[in-house]
Amino acid sequence: MSKRQLGAALRRLRRAANLTGDEVARRLEWSGPKISNIETARVTTHPNDVRLLLDLYDVRSEDERALLLELCRGSRMPGWWQRYGNKALQNWANQHIGLEDAATEIRYFGIDLVYGPLQTSDYARSVISAGSPDHSGQDIEKSVQLRAERREHFLANGSPLWGVLDEAVIRRTVGGSTVMRQQLDFLVEACTLPHVTLQILPLAAGAHAAMGTAFRIQSFDDGSSIVYVENLTSAQYLERASDIKKYSVAFDFLRAVALSPEDSATLMKKVAREL
């Protein structure tokens, strides 16, 4: 959370100094994306960089400087997920889980996959094995353990999640009938939690506003949002207001045409019984 707080504070100070991100990068001889990455908490910031920014923004209050440097030091502490190592957690996933932990709201649309923190271990093992055929059994189990701990964090105190799942997600038999039935039972149970809302977008709904694109919209307590789109080898973070608006409108459309949460739970129970 301190990384998000630090980024938000530095963005506020930059705007108060009437500087754009490009102007700051040019004056400090930094790369163009560095300011954006700092302000959106996608990178860990060194205290020396924070001092340079505070000098440029003419922040003279010793108390404010001390507070921001303390936030910077706190942001450099490793997250709980980082002890699993590179095999279980690639750099782009590392960033995503950090942002997921800091989010105050998550909106998710899945086209063929259950959202990570709602995956059972057996379902996750099947997904990870299929996506990482070159990994050893030990590496795969490490990834499964990471996902299990991510699930525990989310279920215990996670951000409010509103998920829309294409019906293909619950129809695709991942890991065999028994594994998939247990996964569906778990989703139905998760729907009873106060911070989880799930809807199923029926196949009969036909074409829709997000064909072929799974995405997550993560919002934060500073009022900002990020759209997260993942592929096989990397992830894309969209921050422009126009992008966030387009994905938000698409999500509202999906939510409107999907089954109600109650009917969605009924459908998941039905599919589970058929397995």
Three-class SS string for 100-142?
HHHCCEEEEEECCCCCHHHCCHHHHHHHHHHHCCCCCHHHHHH
What's the CATH class of domain 85-274? alpha beta
Average pLDDT over residues 83-103: 59
Question: For residue 94, what pLDDT is reported?
Answer: 53
Question: For residue 80, what pLDDT is reported?
Answer: 46
Q: Which two tokens stand for residue 117?
A: 């923190």
Per-residue pLDDT of 219-251, as tens digits, reads 887 778 889 888 777 778 888 889 999 999 999
pLDDT surpassing 60 at residue 12: yes
**What is the domain partition of the chain in residue ranges?**
2-75, 85-274
Q: Which of 24-38, 51-65, 224-238 has the lowest mean pLDDT?
A: 224-238
Average pLDDT over residues 39-67: 87
Candidates 2.30.30.40, 3.40.50.300, 3.30.460.10, 1.10.260.40; CATH matching 2-75: 1.10.260.40
Question: For residue 91, what pLDDT is reported?
Answer: 47
Question: For residue 173, what pLDDT is reported?
Answer: 97
